[in-house]
Structure 1
Amino acid sequence: MEIKYQLLSLLLVLGTSQATEQEPDVPDVYQKPKFCGQLDCPIYRLVKQYDKFEHRDYEATRWVRTPLENDFFGLGMVKSFRRLYKYITGSKAKEMKINMTVPVVIYKPRNQPPAGNSTMSFFVPHEVQDPPQPTDPDVYLSDSPAQSVYVRSFGGYALDSAYSKEAEVLAEELRALGLEFNDSFYLRSGYNDPFTVYDRHNEVWFVAK
Protein backbone atom coordinates (compact mmCIF):
# COMPACT_ATOMS: atom_id res chain seq x y z
CA MET A 1 0.00 0.00 0.00
CA GLU A 2 2.85 2.39 0.86
CA ILE A 3 4.51 1.79 -2.53
CA LYS A 4 1.20 2.39 -4.31
CA TYR A 5 0.73 5.66 -2.38
CA GLN A 6 4.22 6.90 -3.27
CA LEU A 7 3.70 6.13 -6.96
CA LEU A 8 0.44 8.08 -6.96
CA SER A 9 2.12 10.97 -5.15
CA LEU A 10 4.92 11.00 -7.72
CA LEU A 11 2.36 11.20 -10.52
CA LEU A 12 0.72 14.12 -8.76
CA VAL A 13 3.91 16.15 -8.62
CA LEU A 14 4.23 15.87 -12.42
CA GLY A 15 1.14 18.04 -12.50
CA THR A 16 -1.41 19.04 -9.88
CA SER A 17 -4.67 17.86 -8.42
CA GLN A 18 -7.36 19.23 -10.76
CA ALA A 19 -10.31 18.02 -8.69
CA THR A 20 -13.46 20.09 -9.08
CA GLU A 21 -13.50 23.01 -6.69
CA GLN A 22 -15.66 26.09 -6.29
CA GLU A 23 -14.81 29.07 -8.45
CA PRO A 24 -12.40 31.46 -6.66
CA ASP A 25 -13.50 34.84 -5.39
CA VAL A 26 -11.64 37.04 -7.88
CA PRO A 27 -12.68 40.30 -9.55
CA ASP A 28 -15.35 39.88 -12.27
CA VAL A 29 -13.30 41.95 -14.71
CA TYR A 30 -10.47 39.45 -14.67
CA GLN A 31 -10.67 36.65 -17.22
CA LYS A 32 -8.98 33.64 -15.70
CA PRO A 33 -6.72 31.79 -18.18
CA LYS A 34 -8.16 28.59 -19.61
CA PHE A 35 -5.15 26.60 -18.43
CA CYS A 36 -6.12 27.22 -14.79
CA GLY A 37 -9.19 25.03 -15.29
CA GLN A 38 -11.66 25.13 -12.39
CA LEU A 39 -9.00 26.00 -9.84
CA ASP A 40 -7.86 29.34 -8.47
CA CYS A 41 -4.57 30.74 -9.75
CA PRO A 42 -2.52 33.96 -9.45
CA ILE A 43 -3.79 37.05 -11.25
CA TYR A 44 -1.58 38.60 -13.91
CA ARG A 45 -1.64 41.17 -16.69
CA LEU A 46 -0.15 40.34 -20.06
CA VAL A 47 2.45 43.01 -20.79
CA LYS A 48 3.59 41.72 -24.17
CA GLN A 49 3.16 38.61 -26.27
CA TYR A 50 6.39 37.63 -27.97
CA ASP A 51 6.73 34.96 -30.63
CA LYS A 52 7.70 32.14 -28.25
CA PHE A 53 7.10 33.54 -24.77
CA GLU A 54 5.11 36.09 -22.77
CA HIS A 55 5.92 38.98 -20.48
CA ARG A 56 3.49 39.03 -17.52
CA ASP A 57 2.98 41.28 -14.51
CA TYR A 58 1.70 39.31 -11.50
CA GLU A 59 -0.09 40.73 -8.50
CA ALA A 60 1.29 40.10 -5.01
CA THR A 61 0.63 36.52 -3.95
CA ARG A 62 0.82 34.26 -0.91
CA TRP A 63 2.23 30.74 -1.01
CA VAL A 64 2.71 27.79 1.28
CA ARG A 65 6.21 26.39 0.73
CA THR A 66 8.40 23.50 1.73
CA PRO A 67 12.01 22.51 1.01
CA LEU A 68 12.58 20.18 -1.93
CA GLU A 69 15.37 17.64 -1.99
CA ASN A 70 16.44 16.86 -5.55
CA ASP A 71 17.23 13.22 -6.21
CA PHE A 72 17.34 10.89 -9.20
CA PHE A 73 14.22 8.88 -8.32
CA GLY A 74 11.99 11.85 -7.47
CA LEU A 75 11.30 10.73 -3.90
CA GLY A 76 12.12 14.23 -2.65
CA MET A 77 9.29 15.60 -4.79
CA VAL A 78 6.92 12.99 -3.35
CA LYS A 79 7.81 14.02 0.20
CA SER A 80 7.46 17.74 -0.55
CA PHE A 81 4.12 17.32 -2.29
CA ARG A 82 2.86 15.17 0.59
CA ARG A 83 3.80 17.83 3.18
CA LEU A 84 1.98 20.58 1.27
CA TYR A 85 -1.04 18.40 0.55
CA LYS A 86 -1.34 17.53 4.24
CA TYR A 87 -1.31 21.24 5.03
CA ILE A 88 -4.20 22.15 2.72
CA THR A 89 -6.24 19.14 3.86
CA GLY A 90 -6.09 19.99 7.54
CA SER A 91 -2.59 19.56 9.00
CA LYS A 92 -2.31 23.07 10.43
CA ALA A 93 -2.95 25.06 13.59
CA LYS A 94 -6.62 25.51 12.65
CA GLU A 95 -8.39 22.45 11.23
CA MET A 96 -9.33 24.30 8.05
CA LYS A 97 -9.29 22.73 4.61
CA ILE A 98 -7.97 24.84 1.72
CA ASN A 99 -8.90 24.25 -1.89
CA MET A 100 -6.24 22.97 -4.27
CA THR A 101 -4.88 25.64 -6.60
CA VAL A 102 -2.59 25.93 -9.61
CA PRO A 103 0.17 26.13 -10.45
CA VAL A 104 2.37 23.96 -8.30
CA VAL A 105 5.62 25.92 -8.48
CA ILE A 106 9.13 24.60 -7.97
CA TYR A 107 11.99 27.03 -7.40
CA LYS A 108 15.05 25.75 -9.27
CA PRO A 109 18.42 27.42 -8.57
CA ARG A 110 20.78 27.52 -11.55
CA ASN A 111 23.85 28.92 -9.80
CA GLN A 112 24.74 28.22 -6.20
CA PRO A 113 25.38 30.30 -4.24
CA PRO A 114 23.50 32.68 -3.95
CA ALA A 115 20.35 31.14 -5.42
CA GLY A 116 19.66 28.87 -2.45
CA ASN A 117 17.96 25.49 -2.34
CA SER A 118 14.95 24.16 -4.24
CA THR A 119 11.44 24.59 -2.83
CA MET A 120 7.94 23.47 -3.80
CA SER A 121 4.98 25.84 -3.38
CA PHE A 122 1.18 25.81 -3.49
CA PHE A 123 -0.61 29.09 -4.23
CA VAL A 124 -2.88 30.19 -1.37
CA PRO A 125 -6.31 30.89 -2.93
CA HIS A 126 -7.74 34.42 -2.98
CA GLU A 127 -10.67 33.35 -0.79
CA VAL A 128 -8.31 32.54 2.11
CA GLN A 129 -7.42 35.93 3.56
CA ASP A 130 -5.82 34.66 6.77
CA PRO A 131 -4.32 31.19 6.20
CA PRO A 132 -3.56 29.22 9.37
CA GLN A 133 0.01 28.61 10.38
CA PRO A 134 1.41 25.18 9.46
CA THR A 135 2.21 22.78 12.28
CA ASP A 136 4.92 21.00 10.28
CA PRO A 137 8.25 22.85 10.82
CA ASP A 138 9.19 22.11 7.19
CA VAL A 139 6.12 23.95 5.85
CA TYR A 140 5.80 27.73 5.98
CA LEU A 141 3.80 30.61 4.53
CA SER A 142 5.55 33.12 2.28
CA ASP A 143 4.43 36.34 0.61
CA SER A 144 5.67 37.21 -2.88
CA PRO A 145 5.53 40.85 -3.96
CA ALA A 146 4.11 41.92 -7.29
CA GLN A 147 6.61 40.91 -9.92
CA SER A 148 7.26 40.90 -13.65
CA VAL A 149 8.16 37.57 -15.26
CA TYR A 150 9.00 36.09 -18.65
CA VAL A 151 7.07 32.89 -19.28
CA ARG A 152 7.59 30.09 -21.80
CA SER A 153 4.72 27.60 -22.10
CA PHE A 154 4.83 24.06 -23.44
CA GLY A 155 2.62 20.98 -23.43
CA GLY A 156 2.82 17.27 -22.76
CA TYR A 157 3.92 15.29 -19.73
CA ALA A 158 6.99 17.09 -18.40
CA LEU A 159 9.74 15.67 -16.23
CA ASP A 160 12.43 17.80 -14.61
CA SER A 161 14.70 17.42 -17.65
CA ALA A 162 12.01 18.89 -19.92
CA TYR A 163 11.58 21.93 -17.65
CA SER A 164 15.34 22.43 -17.52
CA LYS A 165 15.60 22.29 -21.32
CA GLU A 166 12.74 24.78 -21.78
CA ALA A 167 14.34 27.13 -19.24
CA GLU A 168 17.59 27.12 -21.21
CA VAL A 169 15.70 27.86 -24.42
CA LEU A 170 13.88 30.77 -22.76
CA ALA A 171 17.13 32.15 -21.32
CA GLU A 172 18.71 32.11 -24.78
CA GLU A 173 15.71 33.90 -26.29
CA LEU A 174 15.79 36.60 -23.61
CA ARG A 175 19.50 37.20 -24.07
CA ALA A 176 19.11 37.37 -27.84
CA LEU A 177 16.54 40.15 -27.42
CA GLY A 178 18.61 41.99 -24.84
CA LEU A 179 15.98 41.53 -22.10
CA GLU A 180 17.30 41.61 -18.54
CA PHE A 181 16.29 38.88 -16.09
CA ASN A 182 17.51 37.13 -12.97
CA ASP A 183 19.37 34.13 -14.34
CA SER A 184 20.36 32.61 -10.97
CA PHE A 185 17.12 30.60 -10.80
CA TYR A 186 13.94 29.76 -12.68
CA LEU A 187 10.47 28.65 -11.64
CA ARG A 188 8.80 25.58 -13.08
CA SER A 189 5.01 25.64 -12.98
CA GLY A 190 2.68 22.69 -13.50
CA TYR A 191 -1.07 23.02 -14.04
CA ASN A 192 -2.46 19.53 -14.68
CA ASP A 193 -3.10 16.32 -12.81
CA PRO A 194 -1.47 13.17 -14.22
CA PHE A 195 -4.75 11.92 -15.65
CA THR A 196 -5.18 14.87 -18.02
CA VAL A 197 -4.00 13.62 -21.40
CA TYR A 198 -4.85 16.44 -23.78
CA ASP A 199 -4.10 20.19 -23.61
CA ARG A 200 -1.56 19.83 -20.83
CA HIS A 201 0.03 23.13 -19.82
CA ASN A 202 3.49 23.65 -18.31
CA GLU A 203 5.52 26.82 -17.85
CA VAL A 204 9.00 28.03 -16.96
CA TRP A 205 9.44 31.54 -15.54
CA PHE A 206 12.34 33.95 -15.23
CA VAL A 207 11.89 37.04 -13.08
CA ALA A 208 12.46 40.23 -15.10
CA LYS A 209 14.83 42.91 -13.86
Structure 2
Amino acid sequence: MKNLVALLLLSLLYLHGTTSLAEDINSDAETLPAFCTSYKCPRYQLIKKYEKFEHRIYNATNWVTTSLKLDFLGIGLAKSFKRLLDYINGKNSEGLVMKMTVPVRIKVPRSDILSTNATMSFFVPPAVDTLPTPLNPDIYVEQLPEISVYVRSFGGYALNSDYEKQAKILVEELEALELSYNSSYGTAAGYNDPLTFFNRHNEVWYMAL
Protein backbone atom coordinates (compact mmCIF):
# COMPACT_ATOMS: atom_id res chain seq x y z
CA MET A 1 0.00 0.00 0.00
CA LYS A 2 2.80 2.28 -1.04
CA ASN A 3 2.47 5.89 0.11
CA LEU A 4 -1.13 5.37 1.18
CA VAL A 5 -2.57 8.65 2.39
CA ALA A 6 -5.07 7.47 4.98
CA LEU A 7 -5.15 10.22 7.58
CA LEU A 8 -8.57 9.12 8.80
CA LEU A 9 -8.15 11.10 11.99
CA LEU A 10 -8.39 14.32 9.99
CA SER A 11 -11.56 13.21 8.24
CA LEU A 12 -13.21 11.92 11.38
CA LEU A 13 -13.05 15.38 12.92
CA TYR A 14 -16.27 15.93 11.00
CA LEU A 15 -17.89 13.13 12.94
CA HIS A 16 -17.37 14.76 16.31
CA GLY A 17 -19.98 17.44 16.75
CA THR A 18 -22.24 16.12 13.98
CA THR A 19 -25.65 15.30 15.40
CA SER A 20 -28.61 13.48 13.91
CA LEU A 21 -32.16 13.70 15.17
CA ALA A 22 -33.46 11.07 12.75
CA GLU A 23 -35.01 7.79 13.74
CA ASP A 24 -32.39 5.21 14.63
CA ILE A 25 -32.53 2.72 11.76
CA ASN A 26 -29.50 0.93 13.17
CA SER A 27 -31.15 -0.33 16.33
CA ASP A 28 -31.50 -3.99 15.41
CA ALA A 29 -29.88 -6.19 18.05
CA GLU A 30 -26.80 -8.08 16.90
CA THR A 31 -23.38 -9.02 18.16
CA LEU A 32 -20.60 -7.17 16.39
CA PRO A 33 -16.83 -7.06 17.02
CA ALA A 34 -15.89 -5.08 20.12
CA PHE A 35 -13.72 -2.73 18.06
CA CYS A 36 -16.85 -1.43 16.31
CA THR A 37 -17.88 0.02 19.71
CA SER A 38 -21.31 1.66 19.37
CA TYR A 39 -21.25 1.84 15.58
CA LYS A 40 -22.64 -0.59 13.04
CA CYS A 41 -19.97 -2.34 10.99
CA PRO A 42 -19.78 -5.15 8.41
CA ARG A 43 -20.18 -8.73 9.61
CA TYR A 44 -17.51 -11.30 8.82
CA GLN A 45 -16.35 -14.82 9.56
CA LEU A 46 -12.83 -15.36 10.84
CA ILE A 47 -11.31 -18.03 8.61
CA LYS A 48 -7.83 -18.18 10.13
CA LYS A 49 -5.84 -16.15 12.62
CA TYR A 50 -2.17 -15.89 11.77
CA GLU A 51 0.52 -14.47 14.03
CA LYS A 52 0.38 -10.98 12.52
CA PHE A 53 -2.88 -10.85 10.58
CA GLU A 54 -6.25 -12.48 9.98
CA HIS A 55 -8.06 -14.00 7.05
CA ARG A 56 -11.71 -12.90 7.03
CA ILE A 57 -14.69 -13.56 4.80
CA TYR A 58 -17.01 -10.55 4.79
CA ASN A 59 -20.70 -10.92 4.08
CA ALA A 60 -22.12 -9.11 1.06
CA THR A 61 -22.24 -5.41 1.92
CA ASN A 62 -23.47 -2.07 0.63
CA TRP A 63 -21.35 1.08 0.61
CA VAL A 64 -21.64 4.66 -0.55
CA THR A 65 -18.48 5.72 -2.30
CA THR A 66 -16.92 8.84 -3.71
CA SER A 67 -13.72 9.72 -5.48
CA LEU A 68 -10.79 10.84 -3.37
CA LYS A 69 -8.21 13.36 -4.48
CA LEU A 70 -5.08 12.56 -2.55
CA ASP A 71 -2.87 15.41 -1.41
CA PHE A 72 -0.31 15.94 1.29
CA LEU A 73 -2.43 18.40 3.29
CA GLY A 74 -5.48 16.16 3.61
CA ILE A 75 -7.84 18.61 1.88
CA GLY A 76 -9.08 15.92 -0.48
CA LEU A 77 -9.81 13.61 2.44
CA ALA A 78 -11.93 16.25 4.15
CA LYS A 79 -13.88 17.04 0.97
CA SER A 80 -14.65 13.39 0.23
CA PHE A 81 -15.70 12.76 3.82
CA LYS A 82 -18.03 15.78 3.74
CA ARG A 83 -19.72 14.54 0.54
CA LEU A 84 -20.45 11.16 2.11
CA LEU A 85 -21.55 12.76 5.36
CA ASP A 86 -24.06 14.90 3.45
CA TYR A 87 -25.46 11.75 1.83
CA ILE A 88 -26.12 9.96 5.12
CA ASN A 89 -27.47 13.19 6.64
CA GLY A 90 -30.35 13.22 4.16
CA LYS A 91 -29.01 14.61 0.90
CA ASN A 92 -30.32 11.63 -1.05
CA SER A 93 -33.40 10.82 -3.13
CA GLU A 94 -35.45 9.75 -0.10
CA GLY A 95 -34.23 12.35 2.37
CA LEU A 96 -33.23 9.40 4.54
CA VAL A 97 -30.94 10.14 7.47
CA MET A 98 -28.61 7.33 8.53
CA LYS A 99 -26.34 7.08 11.55
CA MET A 100 -22.60 7.08 11.09
CA THR A 101 -21.05 3.63 10.69
CA VAL A 102 -17.55 2.20 10.66
CA PRO A 103 -15.12 1.70 9.13
CA VAL A 104 -14.39 4.66 6.95
CA ARG A 105 -12.74 2.81 4.09
CA ILE A 106 -10.08 4.30 1.83
CA LYS A 107 -8.98 2.35 -1.22
CA VAL A 108 -5.82 3.44 -3.03
CA PRO A 109 -3.79 1.98 -5.91
CA ARG A 110 -0.34 1.05 -4.61
CA SER A 111 1.47 2.59 -7.52
CA ASP A 112 0.45 6.24 -7.29
CA ILE A 113 -0.03 8.42 -4.22
CA LEU A 114 -1.85 11.05 -6.30
CA SER A 115 -3.98 8.59 -8.25
CA THR A 116 -7.39 9.80 -9.37
CA ASN A 117 -8.64 6.23 -8.82
CA ALA A 118 -8.58 6.49 -5.03
CA THR A 119 -11.94 6.27 -3.26
CA MET A 120 -13.50 6.77 0.16
CA SER A 121 -16.52 4.77 1.34
CA PHE A 122 -19.04 4.57 4.18
CA PHE A 123 -20.61 1.25 5.13
CA VAL A 124 -24.41 1.11 4.84
CA PRO A 125 -25.99 -1.24 7.42
CA PRO A 126 -28.39 -4.01 6.33
CA ALA A 127 -31.26 -2.20 8.07
CA VAL A 128 -31.31 0.13 5.06
CA ASP A 129 -33.18 -2.19 2.68
CA THR A 130 -33.05 0.04 -0.39
CA LEU A 131 -30.23 2.51 -0.76
CA PRO A 132 -31.45 5.97 -1.76
CA THR A 133 -29.99 7.45 -4.90
CA PRO A 134 -27.29 10.04 -4.20
CA LEU A 135 -28.16 13.58 -5.25
CA ASN A 136 -24.49 14.40 -5.70
CA PRO A 137 -23.17 12.92 -8.98
CA ASP A 138 -19.78 12.43 -7.33
CA ILE A 139 -21.27 9.74 -5.05
CA TYR A 140 -22.29 6.24 -6.09
CA VAL A 141 -23.61 3.12 -4.41
CA GLU A 142 -21.50 -0.05 -4.29
CA GLN A 143 -23.07 -3.45 -3.72
CA LEU A 144 -20.19 -5.76 -2.91
CA PRO A 145 -20.53 -9.55 -2.94
CA GLU A 146 -18.95 -11.71 -0.26
CA ILE A 147 -15.23 -10.92 -0.20
CA SER A 148 -12.13 -12.65 1.16
CA VAL A 149 -9.69 -10.29 2.86
CA TYR A 150 -6.36 -10.40 4.67
CA VAL A 151 -6.46 -7.91 7.54
CA ARG A 152 -3.78 -6.53 9.84
CA SER A 153 -5.04 -4.61 12.86
CA PHE A 154 -3.16 -2.07 14.96
CA GLY A 155 -3.92 0.55 17.58
CA GLY A 156 -3.17 4.17 18.36
CA TYR A 157 -3.73 7.37 16.42
CA ALA A 158 -2.80 6.24 12.92
CA LEU A 159 -1.20 8.66 10.49
CA ASN A 160 -0.02 8.13 6.95
CA SER A 161 3.31 6.65 7.98
CA ASP A 162 1.59 4.19 10.34
CA TYR A 163 -0.68 2.82 7.62
CA GLU A 164 2.29 2.50 5.27
CA LYS A 165 4.32 0.64 7.89
CA GLN A 166 1.51 -1.78 8.77
CA ALA A 167 0.68 -2.42 5.12
CA LYS A 168 4.32 -3.26 4.42
CA ILE A 169 4.33 -5.74 7.30
CA LEU A 170 1.18 -7.38 5.95
CA VAL A 171 2.64 -7.66 2.44
CA GLU A 172 5.84 -9.20 3.80
CA GLU A 173 3.85 -11.76 5.77
CA LEU A 174 1.61 -12.68 2.83
CA GLU A 175 4.58 -13.13 0.54
CA ALA A 176 6.55 -15.11 3.11
CA LEU A 177 3.61 -17.51 3.48
CA GLU A 178 3.08 -17.57 -0.31
CA LEU A 179 -0.51 -16.42 0.03
CA SER A 180 -2.02 -14.93 -3.12
CA TYR A 181 -3.46 -11.43 -2.84
CA ASN A 182 -4.45 -8.54 -5.08
CA SER A 183 -1.37 -6.34 -5.07
CA SER A 184 -2.82 -3.60 -7.28
CA TYR A 185 -4.45 -1.70 -4.43
CA GLY A 186 -4.65 -1.56 -0.65
CA THR A 187 -7.32 -0.47 1.77
CA ALA A 188 -7.13 1.46 5.03
CA ALA A 189 -10.00 1.21 7.50
CA GLY A 190 -10.50 3.55 10.46
CA TYR A 191 -12.95 2.89 13.29
CA ASN A 192 -12.69 5.73 15.81
CA ASP A 193 -13.51 9.40 16.20
CA PRO A 194 -10.72 11.72 17.36
CA LEU A 195 -11.91 11.86 20.99
CA THR A 196 -11.53 8.14 21.52
CA PHE A 197 -8.22 8.10 23.36
CA PHE A 198 -7.93 4.43 24.34
CA ASN A 199 -8.40 1.10 22.59
CA ARG A 200 -8.28 2.66 19.14
CA HIS A 201 -8.58 0.27 16.21
CA ASN A 202 -7.19 0.64 12.68
CA GLU A 203 -6.78 -1.88 9.87
CA VAL A 204 -5.06 -2.41 6.53
CA TRP A 205 -6.60 -4.84 4.03
CA TYR A 206 -5.56 -6.75 0.96
CA MET A 207 -8.01 -8.81 -1.06
CA ALA A 208 -7.27 -12.54 -1.03
CA LEU A 209 -7.12 -14.36 -4.36
Q: Same fold (TM over 0.5)?
A: yes
Q: 1:83-139: per-residue Cα shift (whole Å, max 9, x none)? A: 000000011111110111100000011136xx9711000000111010110000101
1:91 corresponds to: 91
Larger relative contact order (CA 8 Å, sep ≥ 6): 2
1:106 corresponds to: 106
Q: In the aligned structure 2, how far is the partner of 1:161 from the partner of 1:87?
A: 30
Q: How far off is 1:155 after superposition?
A: 0.5
Contact 1:16 1:102 (8 Å CA) reproduced: no
1:135 corresponds to: 135
Q: How far off is 1:16 after superposition?
A: 8.1
Aligned residues: 195
Counterpart secondary structure, 2:78: helix
Identity, % of aligned pairs?
51
Q: In the aligned structure 2, how far is the partner of 1:14 from the partner of 1:172?
A: 29
1:17-166, aligned counterparts within 5 Å? 17=15, 24-25=27-28, 28=30, 31-111=31-111, 117-166=117-166
Counterpart secondary structure, 2:107: strand
Counterpart secondary structure, 2:121: strand
Q: How far off is 1:160 after superposition?
A: 2.1
2:185 corresponds to: 185
Contact 1:53 1:150 (8 Å CA) reproduced: yes
Q: How far off is 1:24 after superposition?
A: 4.4
Structure 2 gap segments, 5+ residues each: 1-7
Contact 2:15 2:193 (8 Å CA) reproduced: yes
Structure 1 runs (4+) deviating above 6 angstroms are 18-22
Tell me the C-alpha RMSD between the 2 structures. Answer: 2.2
- CA separation of 1:25/1:141 partners in 2, compared to 1, >3 Å: closer, same or farther? same
- CA separation of 1:189/1:52 partners in 2, compared to 1, >3 Å: closer, same or farther? same
Q: TM-score, normalised by structure 2?
A: 0.87
1:169 aligns with 2:169: yes
